[in-house]
Structure 1
Amino acid sequence: MHCHLLWGVDDGAHTLQDSRDIISLLKARGFHGAYCTPHIISRYPSNTPSSLKARFRELLDSLPDRDFDLRLSAEYMLDENFERMITEEEPLSHDGTHLLVELPQFRLPNAWMDMLQLVLDRGFIPVLAHPERYGKIMPPEELAALSTRGIRFQGNIGSLFGLYGKTCQAVARQFRKENLYLWWGTDAHNASMLKKLRL
């Protein structure tokens, strides 16, 4: 439900071959498809729903067969451009109902709760990407409390076995035990990272 295999648009796959390598590894590990969720964030100003749809079509057209179900969504950063990015064009949603969003990992942005409320006001359910990784900005109990406000969670598979550290692992396992996760994803940015995952 979350990976960065769409090439040349963010800090994920750099080339079309990189994208193909990630797809091959996912297939070898039993996956039947994946959502491409590139960053929509101020540091990648050219990433818009329109531009990402065009690149996604290029990816689909380049594949020799369609035995791997690829779909397009996005990971929206709650930053100074967030409101503009979800109002200028119809947001890239997994299913027309949920919107994947993320927080910076080292500081809470101003008015971040207002941004989440904006998502709700626009008729989407916010899905917070990898909340287990936000330990530097919010304690686990405050993060867990977001679930009572209509916010769902997407976890990183790597968090469960310590890829991001023991603290993150403990939070991920706690949230999993409490059934807070709606989705799981590899969050794979490249083939090397994917090879480290215990899938």
Structure 2
Amino acid sequence: MFGFFKNKKKTLKEIIPANFVDIHSHLLYGLDDGSKSLNETKQLIADLQKFGFSQFIVTPHTTPLVWENTKDGILNQHQKVKNELGMAASDFRVASEYLIDDSFLKRLENERLLTLKDNYVLIEMSYINPPIHLYEIIMELNSQGYQPVLAHPERYNFYKSDYDSFKRLKNVGCLFQMNMLSSTGYYGMGITTIADYLLKENMYDFAGSDVHHQRHINDFSSELKVKNVDAFESLLFKNVCFKSE
């Protein structure tokens, strides 16, 4: 009996620090594969607040040919939903999660991006393969004054046997954001193994929920599967730099 309590693992929701600032979520309903209604958005926010979340930077996808969101469209929907929720501007902010592909450089030429805060911009890649001009895109972002933050690097399976690519991305100035559910095995243990490696090597800079729906919320009650729990707990505190007064 005593051994049972000694070996009991922590759940994800148990280690979230108070007043956590989430920098990656799909709570802005009606724009992508995230929340589908105001009621769903309200419920997801209420559940996350119970875990200790206090501020949300919502990041709807900007994905050519899939979610053709425009900057104005995102800003207008954010203003509408913020008013519907009655939330303070500091507690419900907006950016976007940009897919970097061959069309992204043209986007950079034509508009200022929606950033997480200051110059931090959230980017993602296709899960099939990296863009041909990946490093050119990262360097162009840097040259225009942006700080690229790569969403969930652990989920790109083409890097699972190529850990040197993570180091190259860091060396060209890319920051890494871990998905919190990667710590529980939600996306598969192979992805959790990669996340564990990046935690061990201290390569993550921030964490985000990437919450889309109630199934994600439910998994916050799952036990942690990563071995580097201390590193993961320390990572969660790094999001404080995005706190808005």
Matching residue's letter, 1:178: E
Q: Corresponding residue for 1:177? A: 200
SS of residue paired to 1:167: helix
Q: Kindly indicate whether the alpha-carbon contact (under 8 Å) linking 1:27 and 1:68 is maintained by their aligned counterparts in 2.
A: no
What CA deviation, in whole Å up to 9, does each residue of 1:51-78 have, x standing for no partner? 1010000111001454981111111101
Q: Corresponding residue for 1:61? A: 83
SS of residue paired to 1:76: strand
Q: State the alpha-carbon separation in 2 of the partners of residues 60 and 88 from structure 1.
A: 27
Q: State the alpha-carbon separation in 2 of the partners of residues 186 and 145 from structure 1.
A: 25
Q: State the alpha-carbon separation in 1 of the partners of residues 80 and 198 from structure 2.
A: 37
What CA deviation, in whole Å up to 9, does each residue of 1:9-50 have, x standing for no partner? 111111111211111111111110111011111024641221
Q: Corresponding residue for 1:145? A: 168
1:99 aligns with 2:121: yes
Alignment of 1:4-153 (within 5 A): 4-44=26-66, 46-66=68-88, 69-137=91-159, 139-153=162-176
Q: Kindly indicate whether the alpha-carbon contact (under 8 Å) linking 1:2 and 1:185 is maintained by their aligned counterparts in 2.
A: yes
SS of residue paired to 1:187: coil
Q: 1:95 to 1:192 in 2, by over 3 A?
A: same
Q: Kindly indicate whether the alpha-carbon contact (under 8 Å) linking 2:82 and 2:89 is maintained by their aligned counterparts in 1.
A: no
Matching residue's letter, 1:161: T
Q: Kindly indicate whether the alpha-carbon contact (under 8 Å) linking 2:32 and 2:67 is maintained by their aligned counterparts in 1.
A: no
- TM-fit CA distance, 1:181: 1.3
Matching residue's letter, 2:199: R
* Runs of 4+ in structure 1 over 6 Å off: none
Matching residue's letter, 2:131: P
| Structure 2 residues without counterparts, runs of 5 or longer | 1-22, 223-245
Q: Corresponding residue for 1:167? A: 190
Q: 1:19 to 1:38 in 2, by over 3 A?
A: same
Q: State the alpha-carbon separation in 1 of the partners of residues 140 and 108 from structure 2.
A: 9
Q: TM-score, normalised by structure 2?
A: 0.76
Q: State the alpha-carbon separation in 1 of the partners of residues 51 and 59 from structure 2.
A: 20
SS of residue paired to 2:212: coil
Q: Kindly indicate whether the alpha-carbon contact (under 8 Å) linking 1:153 and 1:181 is maintained by their aligned counterparts in 2.
A: yes
SS of residue paired to 2:69: coil
Matching residue's letter, 1:192: R
Matching residue's letter, 1:157: M
Q: Corresponding residue for 2:214? A: 191
Q: Kindly indicate whether the alpha-carbon contact (under 8 Å) linking 2:139 and 2:172 is maintained by their aligned counterparts in 1.
A: no
SS of residue paired to 1:136: helix
SS of residue paired to 2:46: helix
Matching residue's letter, 2:44: I
